Structure 1
């Protein structure tokens, strides 16, 4: 089991609570670190100084203030420290261009947020089981 934190990049406080509740209901015990905009996510993952956050999983919304989710994804994939982190785009968007662009930029998965809580709990279970239990992550990149 991957015991690193889950980075949830989400600006909607209701969706943050929804996600935290869904993971708790599925007994997923990983710490959930929340970034409420793309700029904050990039500061956590790619700090100028100090230790970067190395999450077991990044759940990334597309529509974010300051720096949008697709730009965050591009920055994650362009930096060797974060390029192999699993990124699941978790969004309300079902626009084909968002799906295509997410995969083009290197998303590992694209999941449309279910509106009904019970469906969201099931989606969280599937995401948690696969990305935190089944998937074998790449080791963290070493500096220098």
Structure 2
């Protein structure tokens, strides 16, 4: 009986220390890696809060929400091109919304921050938090809504 109990305790200890509990942040190495101090020096306090701490800006506060000019939206941290203006739409949510990203430049991850799984969107170059993806976008295109914090983006107008 003691052997069975010892085996069960050992099994529990081994299973609790497995890599299955490692977060996806620990697994992925991004092309652009900086220390927190370097990010804090480069970004504004609000940008750091959103991009590095997965925060959310207040709805209807970003000037990019109502930007309808032609161009490209890039990551405010590393300048990777993320979204084209032709894929932007007014979702009425108060955040810039897109029905798709530039292929390969936005990573999808799982976020449990509010108690249930959501699809988090991150820059595939630096890992900066951009926002979340929802399935309530335009049906005539992809049906997706990439709800993006405007502070995480910079707009480069088309020349």
TM-score bucket (shorter structure): under 0.3
Q: Which has the larger radius of gyration?
A: 2
- Structure scoring higher RCO (CA < 8 A, sep ≥ 6) equals 1
Name the one with the larger strand percent. 2
Q: If the length of structure 2 is used for normalisation, what is the TM-score?
A: 0.24
**TM value normalised by structure 1:** 0.26
More helix by percentage: 1
